[in-house]
């Protein structure tokens, strides 16, 4: 175990550096609107003078982006669920080492579009990889870098799938999008179960509402959980 990567308050730091690094993750099924809500939250935090690093999984570092391509193209599917889970963990280890830990250490806030809860759900709960294997891979990949807050954007599967199809247009569905509706239903239930199991870490947001309302709910959730004043 390494030390807490977030620096203690440093009297010599400039105001923009003074907030200690925080790690936020967004999770949810297909078409929940994660990437737009991530971008809006980052912008709102930046207006407060916070350095924000926006990142995503799989990917988020040059090495992990290469693995992302292998995973989402379906190139690793033939090797089976365990091999895919190992590749997600390998990508995550690089992402943590190269991007997330350095940013937190210098006091930045990191917002990641997906992180280990996606592996717990996609490869674990709905993907045939045993829970203890998922947990062991997770421990190796992240060490002590665990989210302070996880925002789960929850939408019924029909709505999420319709939004994802509209966004995709003529492009083909990726390795994980293409699965049957009942698999997407199971994933939604699995995310909600994770949130119930760790209520202090998770904020669950009804993402069926219009984007501005969801963005405000995200902002309220972040401010109330992390002790920031809500008003600009």
| Footprint of ligand TYD (CB under 6 A) | 30, 34, 56-58, 72, 88, 113-114, 118-119, 122-123, 174, 176-177
Q: Which is nearer to ligand TYD, 7 or 74 (CB)?
A: 74
Smallest gap, in angstroms, from Cβ of residue 52 to ligand TYD? 19
Q: Residue ranges of the alpha helices (H) in the chain?
A: 34-47, 62-72, 81-95, 101-105, 116-118, 131-142, 157-168, 181-197, 211-226
Smallest gap, in angstroms, from Cβ of residue 117 to ligand TYD? 8
Q: Which is nearer to ligand TYD, 89 or 149 (CB)?
A: 89
84 neighbors 134 (Cβ within 8 angstroms) = no
Smallest gap, in angstroms, from Cβ of residue 119 to ligand TYD? 4
Q: Which is nearer to ligand TYD, 48 or 178 (CB)?
A: 178
42 neighbors 54 (Cβ within 8 angstroms) = yes
Q: What are phi and psi of 75, to 5 degrees?
A: -60, -25
User: Smallest Cα–Cα separation from 71: which of 180, 172, 187, 176?
Assistant: 176
Q: Which is nearer to ligand TYD, 19 or 127 (CB)?
A: 127
Smallest gap, in angstroms, from Cβ of residue 197 to ligand TYD? 18
């Amino acid at each position: 175990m390494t030390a807490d990567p977030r620096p203690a308050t440093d009297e010599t730091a400039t105001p923009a550096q003074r907030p200690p690094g925080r790690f936020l993750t967004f999770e949810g099924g297909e078409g929940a609107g994660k990437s737009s809500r991530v971008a809006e939250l980052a912008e709102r935090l930046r207006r407060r003078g916070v350095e924000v690093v926006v990142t995503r999984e799989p990917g988020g570092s040059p090495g992990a982006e290469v693995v992302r391509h292998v995973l989402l193209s379906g190139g690793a599917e033939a090797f089976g669920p365990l091999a895919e889970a190992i590749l997600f963990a390998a990508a995550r280890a690089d992402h943590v080492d190269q991007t997330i830990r350095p940013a937190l250490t210098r006091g930045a806030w990191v917002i990641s579009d997906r992180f280990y809860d996606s592996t717990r759900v996609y490869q674990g709960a709905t993907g045939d990889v045993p829970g203890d294997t998922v947990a062991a891979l997770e421990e190796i990949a992240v060490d002590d870098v665990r989210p302070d807050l996880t925002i789960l954007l929850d939408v019924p599967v029909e709505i999420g799938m319709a939004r994802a199809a509209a966004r995709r247009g003529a492009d083909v569905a990726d390795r994980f999008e293409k699965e049957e509706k009942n698999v997407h239903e199971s994933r939604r239930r699995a995310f909600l179960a994770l949130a119930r199991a760790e209520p202090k870490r998770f904020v669950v947001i009804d993402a069926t509402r219009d984007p501005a309302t969801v963005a405000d709910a995200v902002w309220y959730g972040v401010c109330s959980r992390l002790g920031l004043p809500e008003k600009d």
